[in-house]
Amino acid sequence: MVQATDQLGASSAGDNRVIATIGAAHFVSHYHYLVLPPLFAFVRADYGVSYTELGFALVAYNLASAFLQTPAGFLVDRIGGRIPLFAALTIAGIAFAVVGLTESFWLLVAMFGVGGVANAVYHPADYALLSQEVAAERIAKAYSFHTFAGLLGSAAAPASLLLMQGLWGWRGAFLGAAALSLAVALLIALQPRPAGATQAGSRKDNANAVKVGWPLLLSAPILFNFATFMLLAMINAGLQNYSVVALGALYGTPAVIANAALTGYLGLATVGVLAGGVLAAWFQRHDMLTMAGLAVAGSVMVLIVTGDPGNALLIAIMSTIGFLTGFIMPSRDLLVRQVTPPGAFGTVFGFVTTGFNIAGVVAPLAFGLLMDHGHPQLVFVSCAALCLLAVATIAAQPGKPAS
């Protein structure tokens, strides 16, 4: 009995180390995604370029990620996630260090393309390592903390980058982002491999791995999950990027109030992720949890366009939406795990999370058109409709593909 208890404790501690390390990598990935926007004005003034030209850097980053994320998943499933994750963090660190140490704008654009290559690795490697190296009874906690760490990286980026810019200039801020990446790469390199892991970094279930290929990715269960990821990313993009201007156009909401509502949305999402992980570990009907959260979130969104809710209620509504969208994320990830055969976690998660990149291209155009044509209310109505469409994609999901 004592020996079994000791083994259980050691396993739990090992799982916690894996969760913390992969969470740190996810923190960096979200942090790097937001390196440039807070520094736009300083970079633009230094190089004398337009905002459109600055946008080329973000386009290069997102295109590289979109095209390479699924191939990165294939690689992860072939050789394991640790080496690709270490390489990605190192490459990203070097790329941002080059930006900070040189004075060529077009080299900056090129280095953002290199950063996008690194970014393509994070999701497939992270999810594969968590799925393979964390015990099944703790996987909900693992997914929950992974998402929480990413959201924390997004929240930390603007203020910390502006602080570094104030101290050392915008190039110093890039060097700080590079140092963060290299530090986490070192952490990955130094972490011991869990007991029982194979050369590819997985547990014994890798012995039953299926041959991974496009037929698996184009199967109905995986495609429905891809659609769910893309729709949820579009909802987040619409609210995060357009709620402030939409509220101003709708009700003349002061910017300080609209931004407070957005802060409530983003802040409560991080709380919701942790709460959702706890419940997902206890209640195994992850489809029901996700659909219920989305249905309530969509219903609450509609309240915004039924009439001016007033400052306090508006902040409460947006905070509630944020909590609910965060709450469903662990269950969203577990739905993917349920339909993924052993040995295919990197490829499947790499493929479905490409929906984030597609949403990143489509959402700004779609919601921007609504604002340009004088329909701010449709920003919230469209997000509510996307919630219901996401519910449909979950309800329609067939069973696990043949392994």
pLDDT tens per residue, range 258-315:
988 988 998 899 999 999 999 999 988 999 999 999 999 999 999 999 999 999 999 9
For residue 1, is pLDDT > 80? no
For residue 200, is pLDDT > 50? no
pLDDT tens per residue, range 290-304:
999 999 999 999 999
Fold for domain 214-395?
Answer: Growth Hormone; Chain: A; (1.20.1250)
pLDDT tens per residue, range 337-348:
999 998 899 999
Confidence of residue 37 (pLDDT cuts 50, 70, 90): confident
The overall pTM is greater than 0.75 = yes
Where do the structural domains in the chain lie, given as residue ranges?
Answer: 2-208, 214-395
Question: In the CATH scheme, what architecture does the domain 2-208 have?
Answer: Up-down Bundle (1.20)
Topology alike, domains 2-208 and 214-395:
yes
pLDDT tens per residue, range 89-142:
999 999 999 999 999 999 999 999 999 999 999 999 999 999 999 999 899 999
By mean pLDDT, which of 67-81, 208-222, 286-300, 306-320 is the weakest? Answer: 208-222
Task: Kindly list the distances between the CA atom of residue 222 and the CA atoms of 65, 216, 343, 393, in Å, as whole numbers in the listed order.
Answer: 19, 7, 15, 11
